[in-house]
Chains A and B, each alone.
Chain A
Amino acid sequence: DAKTTQPPSMDCAEGRAANLPCNHSTISGNEYVYWYRQIHSQGPQYIIHGLKNNETNEMASLIITEDRKSSTLILPHATLRDTAVYYCIVRVSGGYQKVTFGTGTKLQVIP
């Protein structure tokens, strides 16, 4: 079973920030939070990951709560090309652990 829960779908207006939540209440101390997205008919694409500190890169920001039981992926200025299914995954880094995908959140960016 997936270790994360996400809302099945969300809408966001183009140009606005998209905030995608993820619950991972059973996360272990050595597990990272990873986010991937899958644009229609493509393979999943890595977005960002974090352990306990907030992270930012050129694609997105990741906010992890202090107790690490939930996180939020933020796309600061959503575009139509950000329409995709977003997957939140928790896993240990290294050791080639199996990655379990949940159902993800289908984000629809609206013009």
Chain B
Amino acid sequence: SAVISQKPSRDICQRGTSLTIQCQVDSQVTMMFWYRQQPGQSLTLIATANQGSEATYESGFVIDKFPISRPNLTFSTLTVSNMSPEDSSIYLCSVESQGLAPTEAFFGQGTRLTVV
């Protein structure tokens, strides 16, 4: 299993500002995933982060709005830039198990962002 720590757990931010969310994993993983969960909705994948390369963004998400860093195999950050109230969501970091067994995904506890 993998233990994922996200910081901050929650924040209230002013519109127009940016927030950087950190994700720390207790083991080395190849890929890390960032999800957004809007109020009352399911999870939507924002991007996949590989160590040492540019993140791969899903349709509807762009690097200028959600820049991602992946400096090593245990850490990643997601920045929500130039925030508006529509960015109020839970942002979740996820990794997948390594090895031969059927893949299992692990999630952090999420960052609850409120933009005012």
Contacts and interface: CB of A to CB of B under 8 A. Distances in A.
Question: Do A and B originate from a single complex?
Answer: yes
Interface of A: 2, 32, 34, 36, 41-46, 49, 51, 87, 91, 93-94, 96, 98-104
Given A96-B31, A99-B45, A102-B42, A42 B103 contact: no
A43 B92 contact: yes
B112 A43 contact: no
Contact of A101 (B4, B42, B48, B102): B42
Contacts of B48: 96, 98
Given A43-B110, A96-B31, A96-B96, A49 B45 contact: no
B112 A44 contact: no
Nearest to B101: A93
B62 interface: no
A44 B104 contact: no
Q: Is the interface of B mostly helix, strand, loop or mixed?
A: strand
Q: Is the interface of A mostly helix, strand, loop or mixed?
A: loop
Given A94-B103, A101-B44, 20 more contacts: A32-B102, A34-B104, A41-B110, A42-B109, A43-B92, A43-B107, A43-B108, A43-B109, A44-B92, A44-B107, A46-B106, A91-B103, A98-B48, A98-B58, A99-B105, A100-B45, A101-B43, A102-B42, A103-B42, A104-B42
Contacts, number: 54
Contacts of B30: 96
A98 B45 contact: yes
A41 B102 contact: no
Interface in B55-78: 58
A44 B108 CA distance: 8
Nearest to B104: A46
A41 B112 contact: yes
Nearest to A103: B42
A102 B41 CA distance: 9
A106 to B, nearest CB: 10
A9 B87 CA distance: 26
